[in-house]
Amino acid sequence: MESKKRVIRICMGSSCYSRGNGQNAELLQHLMDTGTLDGDTVVSEVSGTLCEGLCREGPIVIIDEVVHRQVTPILLADLLAGTVKE
C-alpha cells in the first residue's frame, strides 16, 4: 500500500506561535523524526511561514494547500490521520 505524503506549512508568526503553533511545531518535528503518523501517512515536508494575515483565526496550519484555522495539536494529529474531514 502506498503511503500518503503530506506537505505542511505552519504559520510561525508571533500570534499563531503564541496561540499554539509552538506546540504544533513540536508535534510536527516529532512526526518528522519518527517518519510516520499511522503507518500510511508520512509527513514529507514541513516549512514555516510568516504571518498569513489570518491572526484572529489562528493558529494557522496549511496542509496540502488547505488552510486550517484554530489548529490544536489534537486537531492537527486528527487532520494528518484523516480522522476528521479537511
- 42, β-bridge pairs: 5
Give the HSE-up count for residue 31: Cα atoms under 13 Å, Cβ half-sphere: 26
Q: Does 52 bind ligand FES (CB under 6 A)?
A: yes
Q: Does 11 bind ligand FES (CB under 6 A)?
A: yes
Give Rg (Cα) of the chain.
12
Of 13-21, 28-36, 40-48, 78-86: span binding ligand FES (CB under 6 A): 13-21
Q: How many residues bind ligand FES (CB under 6 A)?
A: 11
Residue 39 amino acid letter:
G
Among 8, 10, 16, 63, binds ligand FES (CB under 6 A): 16
- Cβ contact 30:44 at 8 Å: no
- Window 58 to 77, contacts with ligand FES (CB under 6 A): 58, 60
